[in-house]
């Protein structure tokens, strides 16, 4: 009889578990669909994370320099517990505020051409009552470098506090993302921007498996990520897939943004790596086979001084597909997505961007003018243009200055200083102040309010819709305030047209 009990009890337990389908606490870390299976891990007691999930085929060999190709279904379970590598980075080794004072925040997950992945932070399954709004983050980096940094863009705090889903993406940058090769015949010059679109499409198609609602998606980014977000709103104005845009320090004004002039830069690099040819297609095929590090070394070690002052750059160039020659004309024709937008900038943008970097800092008058030209006026122009088109628009100006984020007194509210506040990651460089914690929670609440209801969320949060003639400019972090104040744009936009 004792022998029978030993056998029967386990069988009974197996039978009951099949009937009642009870789950272990970690069952929600395995997500399976008809297209893929991924094993995630815990970011905290209440947040799951799925890292390094591919959204496109590796852009290698024949696919190098070409538009991304949809990721094919795979049977084996992907270990999604660690960040995938960042796309190959452009780095001259020049010092900056980041490298000198925040080295821990730099890319740490390695680099590879096989980099078209995304990362997902989502609540534990028992916290998801209905499908959640999704916020898709495009990292910045001047389209030359950048990616899903394990530290800067950690979505854990945001998800814990706001019960949304955060997705961050990698996309190709520098020559690999913006080749402008003659063989492309003026099309698909900006494959890095096409990567971003494919990532959004992947999220739209698959985020339901992680508890997200594909009809409640917001695209947001900062610097080149902010510009990319705005570029996206023009390129896919008739089919944006997202319900709103948050454009941080990167709005498209009236300035044509071109780093790559024609196809000569690509041909120069091709010549240096032994791929020079009068046949543009032969040149292209050779470059697709060339060693990636050798290509990047030519680019990184190039000296304009030694080449008659001629620059060598690879960034967004006009292809009339993703980057357009006349933004004003596009707006006048209504060729911009009719989706709500939140647009803004920091108060001293160019302080952290000025080159060369010195401890003494640059001339603040020059910084003010550069900040106005590159960031402040484009934000004003883009916001006003959307209002004229009847698009719901909000605009902010960020002033926050905190000890653990401001190692030099002249930095002020510099370019990217709001990112740790939005993501709730500012304590990576030292203890947060009480004001810093309060402002972070407030700004997270505002960003989430917009994502949850782009049309009404910010009004319910107490923010007025943008009006160039009213007290509608949202002032954040001014004089240590942990909530918003409101000012007249005319006080800040002098000199903008």
Check pLDDT > 60 for residue 286: yes
pLDDT at 94: 82
Average pLDDT over residues 248-257: 81
pLDDT at 24: 44
Whether omega for the bond prior to residue 168 falls within 30 degrees of 0, making it cis, is no
Q: What is the pLDDT of residues 357-391, one digit of tens each?
A: 889 999 999 999 999 999 999 999 999 999 999 99
pLDDT at 347: 97
pLDDT at 20: 31
- Concerning whether 349 is annotated as a catalytic residue, the answer is yes
Check pLDDT > 80 for residue 63: yes
Domain containing 327 equals: 43-54+116-172+190-253+321-491
What Å distances lie between residue 391 and 108, 231, 383, 475, CA to CA? Answer: 39, 16, 9, 21
Residue 216 falls inside a structural domain? yes
Check pLDDT > 70 for residue 21: no
Would the pTM of this model clear 0.95, i.e. be above it?
Answer: no
Q: What is the pLDDT of residues 121-180, one digit of tens each?
A: 999 999 998 999 999 999 999 999 988 767 779 999 999 999 999 999 999 999 999 999
Apex CA 183: angle with CA 178 and CA 185, to 5°?
80
- Average confidence score pLDDT of the chain: 90
- Catalytic option among 149, 376, 415, 429: 415
| Percent of the chain clearing pLDDT 90 (strictly above) | 77
Token pair, residue 462, equals 């107490």
Check pLDDT > 60 for residue 448: yes
More confident residue, 192 or 255: 192
- Concerning whether 366 is annotated as a catalytic residue, the answer is no
Residue 391 falls inside a structural domain? yes
Check pLDDT > 70 for residue 7: no
pLDDT at 31: 97
pLDDT at 261: 59
Check pLDDT > 70 for residue 314: yes
Average pLDDT over residues 234-241: 97
pLDDT at 25: 46
Check pLDDT > 70 for residue 198: yes
The number of folded domains in the chain is 1
Residue 414 falls inside a structural domain? yes
Residue 286 falls inside a structural domain? no
Residue 59 falls inside a structural domain? no
Alpha-carbon Rg for the chain in angstroms: 24
pLDDT at 475: 98
Kind of pairing between the strands at 212-222 and 165-169:
unpaired
Residue 183 falls inside a structural domain? no
Beta-carbon count within 10 A of 59 CB: 23
Q: What is the pLDDT of residues 80-134, one digit of tens each?
A: 999 999 999 998 778 888 888 887 666 656 889 999 999 999 999 999 989 999 9
Q: What is the pLDDT of residues 389-435, one digit of tens each?
A: 999 999 999 999 999 999 999 999 999 999 999 999 999 888 999 99
Q: What is the CATH number of the domain that holds 213?
A: 3.40.50.1820
Q: What is the pLDDT of residues 343-357, one digit of tens each?
A: 999 999 999 999 898
pLDDT at 108: 59
Residue 343 falls inside a structural domain? yes
- Concerning whether 456 is annotated as a catalytic residue, the answer is no
Q: What is the dihedral of CA 221, 170, 295, 191, to 10 degrees?
A: -70
pLDDT at 192: 97
Closest CA to 375 of 251, 189, 202: 251
Check pLDDT > 90 for residue 278: yes
Residue 119 CB partners (closer than 8 Å, separation 6+): 49, 50, 51, 52, 53, 83, 148, 155, 167, 168, 169
Check pLDDT > 60 for residue 325: yes
Average pLDDT over residues 37-58: 97
- Catalytic option among 157, 223, 317, 371: 223
Average pLDDT over residues 213-224: 97
Residue 327 falls inside a structural domain? yes
Contacts by residues 454-463 (CB-CB < 8 Å, ≥ 24 positions apart): 454/218, 454/243, 454/244, 454/339, 454/340, 454/392, 455/340, 455/392, 458/342, 458/394, 463/394
Apex CA 469: angle with CA 465 and CA 474, to 5°?
45
Check pLDDT > 60 for residue 15: no
- Catalytic option among 349, 376, 418, 436: 349
pLDDT at 107: 64
């Amino acid at each position: 009889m004792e022998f029978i009990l030993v056998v029967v009890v386990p069988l009974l337990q197996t039978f009951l578990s099949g009937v009642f389908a009870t789950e272990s606490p970690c069952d929600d870390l395995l997500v399976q669909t008809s297209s893929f299976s991924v094993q995630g891990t815990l970011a905290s007691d209440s947040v799951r994370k799925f890292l390094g999930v591919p959204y496109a085929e590796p852009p290698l060999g024949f696919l190098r320099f070409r538009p991304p190709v949809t990721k094919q279904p795979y049977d084996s379970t992907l270990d999604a517990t660690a960040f995938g590598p960042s796309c190959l980075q452009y780095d001259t080794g020049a010092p900056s505020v980041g490298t000198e004072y925040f080295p821990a925040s730099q890319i740490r997950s390695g680099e590879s051409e096989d980099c078209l992945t995304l990362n997902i932070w989502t609540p534990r399954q028992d916290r998801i009552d209905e499908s959640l709004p999704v916020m898709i983050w495009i990292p910045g980096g001047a389209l030359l470098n950048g990616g899903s940094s394990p530290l800067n863009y950690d979505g854990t705090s945001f998800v814990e506090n706001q019960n949304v889903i955060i997705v961050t993406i990698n996309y190709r940058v520098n020559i690999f993302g913006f080749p402008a090769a003659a063989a492309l015949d003026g099309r698909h010059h900006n494959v890095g921007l096409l990567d971003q679109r494919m990532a959004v499409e992947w999220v739209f198609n698959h985020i339901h498996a992680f508890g997200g609602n594909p009809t409640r998606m917001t695209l947001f980014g900062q610097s080149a990520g902010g510009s990319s977000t705005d570029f996206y709103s023009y390129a896919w104005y008739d089919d944006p897939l997202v319900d709103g845009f948050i454009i941080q320090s990167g709005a498209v004004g009236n300035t044509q943004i071109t780093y790559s002039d024609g196809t000569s830069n690509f041909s120069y690099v091709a010549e240096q790596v032994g791929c020079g040819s009068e046949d543009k297609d032969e040149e292209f095929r050779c470059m697709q086979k060339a060693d990636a590090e050798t290509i990047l070394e030519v680019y990184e070690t190039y000296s304009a001084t030694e080449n008659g002052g001629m620059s060598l750059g690879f960034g967004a160039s006009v292809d009339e597909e993703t980057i357009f020659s006349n933004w004003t004309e596009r707006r006048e024709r209504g060729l911009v997505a009719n989706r709500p937008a939140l647009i803004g900038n920091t108060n001293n943008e160019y302080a952290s961007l000025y080159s060369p970097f010195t401890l003494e800092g640059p001339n603040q008058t020059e910084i003010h003018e550069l900040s106005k030209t590159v960031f402040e006026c484009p934000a004003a122009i883009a916001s006003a243009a959307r209002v004229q088109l009847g698009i719901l628009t909000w605009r902010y100006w960020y002033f926050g200055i905190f000890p653990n984020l401001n190692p030099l007194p002249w930095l002020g509210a510099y370019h990217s200083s709001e990112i740790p506040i939005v993501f709730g990651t500012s304590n990576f460089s030292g203890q947060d102040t009480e004001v810093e914690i309060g402002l972070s929670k407030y700004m997270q609440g505002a960003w989430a309010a917009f994502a949850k209801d782009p049309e009404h969320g910010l009004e319910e949060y107490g923010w007025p819709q943008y009006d160039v003639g009213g007290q509608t400019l949202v002032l954040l972090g001014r004089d240590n305030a942990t909530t918003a104040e409101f000012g007249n744009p005319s006080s800040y936009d002098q000199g903008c047209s």
